Structure 1
Amino acid sequence: MSTPPDEALRTRISELEARVGRLEEEGERAERREDSERTPPDPGPEQTGHTPAETAESETAAIGPASPDPARQADDDDPYWVLAGLEDRYPDDDVVLYGGTMSTDGGGYRWQYGLPTQTVLDGDFADAAPALSALAHPVRLALLQAVLTGTHATADLAALPGLGTSGQVYHHLNQLSSAGWLRSPRRGRWEVPGERTIPLLALVMAATT
């Protein structure tokens, strides 16, 4: 009995993805050997988290090294201390704001971004579909979590349990990269862009609380 065309095509795609995954792993192993033979370079601005970010309409978005500031500690008596500060700055406007900090081995991130509420409402919500769709898969979310917590090599990501074949993992990594949630500064290595780190954590927190 002949194989249906659609099934044959899916089989062929799966084989190609697996082959690409194997090639990627071989490239990563070769790159590791090269890295072990040379002295690592000094960390640049991207690694230390000092890269400047864009400015939003109503708030400044910034990336920099995370450092505690005692003068900015929350008032324990006011559970809405963030909103109080927002209202002090924009007493006549409705504003949507998110922010946060994250420490890393190379420094850290401090990020906040805000827009007038009406600006958000006037935009086309459908424009968010590509970025949100890329997150709508448990394997992709697991990959992002692994990258954020220190697993960066393709081979190491493909070796994590429960994520499918190396070809499938490679496919998911490319989908996340196309949507801007991941980038590959060099072959076989992945990272979440600094300007997407806090937004990603904010989205996950909003979806799970």
Structure 2
Amino acid sequence: MEDLVDRLEELERRVAALESAQPEHAQLPWAVARLRQEFADAGKRTGGVLLAGALQLPTGERFDWQAQYPTDAIVGDVWTIEAANCLAALADPVRLRLLQEIVYGRRTAADLAAIAELGTSPEIYQHLRQLAAVGWLQTAGLGRFEVPEGRLVPLLAVLAAAQR
């Protein structure tokens, strides 16, 4: 019995040694581990943020997009009135609904005006102008609106971050 106890203690010691030898990022999600490595390779010791998406909209459109931002570029200089205005544009439920409808394929002001709860045509145009002014929307010709490709994943990330 004593031999069994000794063997078990030896195994526990060896397992503990193996576990402590694991790299720091071994327990991290794959994207975080890779991002840490990429920023370290680039000499960015403070790390950063990755926004990425591979999605298909209800309209059938596909988007594959990603961007990386070093921490110091986000924490340092983006806390501006422009950033506040950009986020404030999303704070109105009607504007969020307009963006949702546009993502789902209703792209003209006439299509949007057909949704009674969004307000009158002048009100809708005012909301569309506000969203376009901060870059959440762009015109796509012939009175059509779209979320720019480079803003779609960030928009979805903001909405995901707003979930509780």
Name the TM tier (shorter chain). 0.7 to 0.9
The total of aligned residue pairs comes to 133
Equivalent of 2:29, from 62, 68, 80?
Answer: 80
Q: Quick one: which of 46, 49, 74 aligns to 1:120? A: 74
Larger radius of gyration: 2
Go from structure 1 to structure 2 and tell me whether the alpha carbon gap of 1:85 and 1:175 turns closer, same or farther (over 3 Å shift): same
Q: Classify the secondary structure of the residue corresponding to 2:64.
A: strand
User: Comparing both chains, which one has the higher relative contact order based on Cα–Cα distances under 8 Å and sequence gaps of 6 or more?
Assistant: 1
1:165 partnered with 2:120: yes
Cα distance between partner residues in 2 of 1:170 and 1:181: 14
* CA distance in 1: counterparts of 2:75 and 2:152, whole angstroms: 24
In the alignment, structure 1 residue 102 sits paired with structure 2 residue 102: no
Please give the alpha-carbon distance, in whole angstroms, between the structure 1 residues aligned to 2:31 and 2:87: 26
After TM superposition, which residue ranges in structure 1, 4 or more long, deviate above 3 angstroms?
104-107
Q: Which residue of 1 aligns with 2:20?
A: none
Q: 1:107 to 1:149 in 2, by over 3 A?
A: closer
Aligned residues with identical type, % of pairs: 41
The separation in 2 between residues aligned to 1:131 and 1:81, in whole angstroms, is 31
Q: Which residue of 130, 133, 136 corresponds with 1:178?
A: 133
Secondary structure at the counterpart of residue 202 of structure 1? helix
Shift of 1:170: 1.3
Query: What is the TM-score of this pair, normalised by structure 1?
Result: 0.58
Unaligned runs of 5+ in 1: 1-77
Q: Which has the higher helix share?
A: 2
1:1-80 mapped onto 2 (5 Å cutoff): 80=29
Question: TM-score, structure 2 length as denominator?
Answer: 0.73
